[in-house]
Structure 1
Amino acid sequence: MDNSKRKYLFTSSRLGFRTWAHRDIQQMTLLNSDKKVMEFFPFLPSEKETVEFIHRMQNQFLENGFCYFPVDLLETDTFIGFIGLSMQQFDSDFTPCVDIGWRIHKKYWGQGLATEGALECLAYAKNDLQLNRIHSMAPKTNLKSIKVMEKIGMTYVKDFEHPKLKENPRLNKCVLFAINL
Structure 2
Amino acid sequence: MSKSITQTDRLILRTWKTTDIAPFTAMCSDKEVMRYFPACLPKKETISLVKRFHERYEQNGFTYYAVELKETGEFLGFCGMLMQTYDSPFTPNVDIGWRLKKAAWGKGYATEAAKACLKLAKETLALKTIISVASYTNGPSIHVMQKIGMKKVGAFNHPVLVITPDLNPCEVYQISL
Structures share fold, TM-score greater than 0.5: yes
1:70 and 2:66 correspond: yes
Match 1:83 to one of 79, 87, 95: 79
Distance 2:57 2:4 in 1: 14
Secondary structure in structure 2 of the residue aligned to 1:53: helix
Q: Determine which of 35, 53, 56 is the counterpart of 2:49.
A: 53
Q: Percent identity among equivalent residues? A: 47
Q: Distance in 2 between matches of 1:7 and 1:53?
A: 18
The residue number in structure 2 matching 1:157 is: 153
**Partner residue, 1:124:** 120
Aligned residues: 176
**Partner Cα separation in structure 2 for residue 125 and residue 79 of structure 1:** 23
Which 5+ residue runs of structure 1 have no aligned equivalent?
1-5
Structure 1 consecutive aligned stretches of length 4 or more whose deviation exceeds 3 Å? none
Please report how far the alpha carbon of residue 7 of structure 1 lies from its aligned counterpart in structure 2 after TM superposition: 4.7
Shift of 1:172: 2.1
- The TM-score, its normalising length taken from structure 2, stands at 0.97
Aligned partner of 2:17 in structure 1 is 21
Q: CA deviation at 1:136?
A: 0.1
Which consecutive residues of structure 2, in runs of 5 or more, have no partner in the other structure?
Answer: none
Secondary structure of the equivalent of 1:92? coil
Q: Which amino acid aligns with 1:121?
A: C
CA contact (8 A) 1:139 1:175 kept: yes
